[in-house]
């Protein structure tokens, strides 16, 4: 058999086997940013089947850009236990903790994967799956990002799940789709306010949680949903939000 044939068959069969499993999972997390990957690790550690869909061909969300392309970000003291869980090195300066952006991205992803979560790149959530009595979200409709970018009309595939987390950041993409397509839910996405870092760091974590049965929000999507201020290149709230949503979902799925 030619090597080229072996390459194609091996990739296609291995991928098909994994996609058959992904078709029904416990938790779908949309967005491989800091909140999404933190949640993925803590949920997978609890034995839940977790898949993260990321529309880009990379992970890290806003971490990679640092602060205005400087390759450092900061967190606060409350986040140190999470950094230590993920074995991320840090330095204390001015009552903040400085972290290398590339190291944080790499270790968030590596620990999520090592815990058992799958991160699938180049996939966008195009819609959600709903049920009634009561109104709830039971999965997502997914499409290749390249197909959406090309403007082609191609029907999506479905992934059934017990929980869906919008961790897509500033645009709150999943919540926005749900708001537009399920008007009876009366879910309004006002978008985030201008910067107020101290308030944003606190409020994003406080407001992280369940939106309605089966649908959850974490990270900057929380700010978009509740019209909270933005905080810039401090990521404590993002990491704490990811850990909090993992705790909430784990408790809900045990109920």
Superfamily of domain 31-254: FAD/NAD(P)-binding domain (3.50.50.60)
The overall pTM is greater than 0.85: yes
Cα 120 to Cα 23, 45, 53, 123, 232: the distances in Å are 13, 18, 5, 7, 27
170 is in an annotated binding site: yes
87 is in an annotated binding site: no
* 220: exposed, middle or buried (Cβ count in 10 Å: 0-12, 13-18, 19+): buried
Q: What percent of the chain has pLDDT over 70?
A: 100
Q: What percent of the chain has pLDDT over 90?
A: 99
What does the mean pLDDT of the chain come to? 97
54 is in an annotated binding site: yes
Residue 248: how many CB atoms within 10 A of its CB? Answer: 18
154 is in an annotated binding site: yes
Q: Residue 255: which pLDDT band, with cuts at 50, 70 and 90?
A: confident
Q: Residue 135: which pLDDT band, with cuts at 50, 70 and 90?
A: very high
* pLDDT (mean) for 187-209: 97
**Residue extents of the structural domains in the chain:** 31-254
Contacts of 235 (CB under 8 A, 6+ apart): 34, 63, 73, 74, 75, 79, 99, 104
Q: Which residues pair with 124 in a beta bridge?
A: 143
35 is in an annotated binding site: yes
Q: Is the pLDDT of residue 148 over 80?
A: yes
Cα separation, 124 vs 128, whole angstroms: 11
Q: What is the pLDDT of residue 57?
A: 96
155 is in an annotated binding site: yes
Would you say 238 and 203 are in contact if contact means Cβ atoms under 8 Å apart? no
* pLDDT (mean) for 81-104: 97
153 is in an annotated binding site: yes
């Amino acid at each position: 058999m030619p090597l080229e044939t072996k390459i194609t068959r091996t990739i296609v069969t291995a991928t098909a086997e994994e996609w058959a499993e992904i078709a029904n999972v416990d938790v779908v997390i949309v967005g491989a940013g800091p909140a999404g990957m933190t949640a993925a690790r803590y949920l997978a550690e609890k034995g839940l089947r977790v898949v993260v869909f990321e529309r880009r061909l990379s992970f890290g969300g806003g971490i990679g850009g640092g602060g205005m392309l400087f390759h450092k970000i900061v967190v606060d003291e409350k986040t140190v236990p999470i950094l230590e869980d993920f074995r991320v090195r840090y330095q204390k300066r001015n009552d903040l903790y400085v972290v290398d952006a590339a190291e944080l991205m790499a270790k968030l992803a590596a620990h999520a994967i090592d815990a058992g979560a799958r991160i699938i790149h180049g996939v966008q959530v195009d819609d959600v799956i709903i049920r009634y009595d009561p109104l709830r979200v039971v999965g997502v409709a997914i499409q290749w990002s390249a197909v959406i970018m090309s403007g082609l009309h191609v029907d999506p595939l479905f992934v059934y799940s017990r929980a869906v987390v919008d961790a897509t950041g500033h645009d709150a993409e999943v919540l926005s789709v749900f708001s537009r397509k399920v008007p009876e839910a009366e879910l309004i996405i006002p978008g985030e306010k201008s910067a107020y870092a101290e308030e944003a760091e606190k409020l994003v974590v406080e407001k992280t949680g369940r939106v309605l049965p089966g649908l959850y929000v974490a990270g900057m999507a929380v700010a978009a949903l509740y019209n909270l201020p933005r905080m810039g290149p401090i990521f404590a709230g993002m990491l704490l939000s990811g850990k909090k949503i993992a705790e909430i979902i784990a408790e809900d799925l045990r109920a």
